[in-house]
Amino acid sequence: MNPNPVVAIAGATGAVGVEMLRCLEERNFPISKLKLLASARSAGKTMTFRGQDITVEELTEDSFKGVDIAFFSAGGSISKKFAKAVVDAGAVMIDNSSAYRMDPDVPLVIPEVNPQAAHDHKGIIANPNCSTIIAITPLWPIHQKNRVKRLIAATYQAASGAGAAAMEELEQATRAHLAGEAFEQKIIPHPYPFNVFSHNSRVDPVTGYNEEEMKMVKETTKIFADTNIRVTATCVRVPVLRAHSEALDFECENPITPDDVRTILSTAPGVKIVDDVARNYFPMPKDASGQDDILVGRIRQDISDPTGHSISMFVAGDQLLKGAALNAVQIGELLLA
């Protein structure tokens, strides 16, 4: 890999694309040239990077000539459409969509968990689902010390997970609701202000699980390289603009205490303990928003398990950063290491 690569961002004007641009700048990612790519509708716009205005170009199959790393955050159909052009051009696609996550030939990478997998690619590296990243980044160091046998997750997912348009819709719908005005939801299928509802992804009529839940199940198994870990999830959308929260209950192979978990996580990369029992202050999306680290708290023994093998805890992480853009940029950094 060129130590000063030519970098492209496909979907540069979207919520995650904007954060990718910011992450590349803040982390001093070495770039010899940056190409910003989007749909024809966004072509011609300008975005600022390191004090310079860069004109957004229309994404085409010819966009990747001379590119070394192509960050994609434009949706699965776009990733599939342009993957061959990226690989044929000799670039590495770091894809934020679900298009290639479960492809056995594509590594699914969280740098704090399985960094070595990033180097075993054939031109495409997949970024995991945001809910998966936020759940298992703090679980991984525990898993290394005391294997996690089972995970039960309940997510509280912000509008940011559905993109910039959903965030804007939540703001507009909330203003309308408070003013007593009618509002037609176009991005999110249910009334969003002051409401929670099952994640707006397709539900399998056979299993009853929606796509978001099954992403957590399947991706955890692949990233941990452990086909025996048992995972179930209930994914819910909440009226929060940014940062997902998750209630995690996990069972370990051997007995484990809350102090064990705090000790392990106190030095874990990408994790910050927020567990102030005296003040009843624990991870919140308002605190996780804009933060690189995943906040972890409410660490307590699961009293429903008399064997002492289970822990309950609560986490919050910025879906646009560690759940998406930051994780992708960190993968890019692995390629340059």
Strands of the sheet with 57-58, listed across from one edge: 57-58, 33-38, 6-10, 69-72, 92-95, 124-126
Greatest extent of the chain over all pairs of C-alpha atoms, in Å: 62
Of the listed 121, 143, 199, 244, which one is catalytic? 244
Residue 213 CA to its chain's centroid (Å): 14
Structure tokens at 139: 């679980």
Residue 65 CA to its chain's centroid (Å): 28
Q: Is 244 a catalytic residue?
A: yes
Of the listed 23, 130, 235, 252, which one is catalytic? 130
Q: Is 23 a catalytic residue?
A: no
| Three-state secondary structure call for residue 189 | coil
Report in angstroms the alpha-carbon separations of 260 from 32, 54, 134, 142, 266. 45, 49, 20, 9, 10
Residue 84: CB atoms within 10 A of its CB come to 12
Query: Which residues are part of the catalytic machinery?
Result: 130, 244
